[in-house]
Structure 1
């Protein structure tokens, strides 16, 4: 008796040394075997490149906006520092630099920038004030 038949799972053994998933086009008479990894790799690669491009464009726009905004703010501060008339006030009990800056606003400067201007003019390293201290402040024309 000749036993040339293979029994069990050995009949299903794959001899392909590089296994890959194959898509078979069942509509044609000759089967075209196309690797799925060969189809999807360019699509995934194109999507990741498009996503990276989008992130880079957004970053460039944000950096440009930040640069131009800070440059405009610095120009306004420099102009005010050089051109705004000054007055001398004496610090009263309860005064803060913020309150003084709000009472002596400068056109095109925020209150925070006006505080920085007053600190700059008076050589203050902090916002600490002493009663009776004389401060140079922007002159108010109200």
Structure 2
């Protein structure tokens, strides 16, 4: 080992720090940089406590109005869809069929569609009308399905 790098005795415990610490902030991108010397004593509070964002009353009112409008619009779309579903279901007449091997609620909903309802909604309706807990069907079982128009 080189003798000049060795520290003996109490000198090993002595910490020498500069009187005023500084660091360098590098600005720029991949193409190059411009070093800036910054005194951390001036920026110490900014680093410790993040700046608080104060929302102004007009901003809060605008957000509240937007959320209210969104809620009202969502509820009107939902209630209109529910009304269309209820109207379609109330006018349905049923016929009883025998389940064939390979039949599913989806295939029956496609085979016996209800005007104004999607295949998923028709499938759900067939499951509800027949009080089925799950979607699997047993061949030979009797089910109520919408009458063909």
Q: CA RMSD in A?
A: 2.0
Counterpart pick for 1:108 among 107, 113, 116: 116
Change in Cα spacing, 1:87 to 1:52, as seen in structure 2 (3 Å) is same
| TM-score of the aligned structures, taking structure 2 as reference length | 0.56
Asked whether the 8 Å contact 1:119–1:127 carries over to 2, the reply is yes
List structure 1 runs of 4+ shifted beyond 4 angstroms: none
Report SS of the residue matched to 2:135. Answer: coil
Unaligned 5+ segments in structure 1 are 1-43
More helix by share: 1
Does the CA-based 8 Å contact 1:77-1:117 persist in structure 2? Answer: no
What is the CA distance between 1:72 and its match in structure 2? Answer: 1.9
Normalising by structure 1, what TM-score? 0.59
Alignment match, 2:141 = 133
SS at match of 1:93: coil
Report Cα offsets for 1:56-98 as digits up to 9, x if no partner: 2222222112212221222222223321121222212221111
Which 5+ residue runs of structure 2 have no aligned equivalent?
1-52
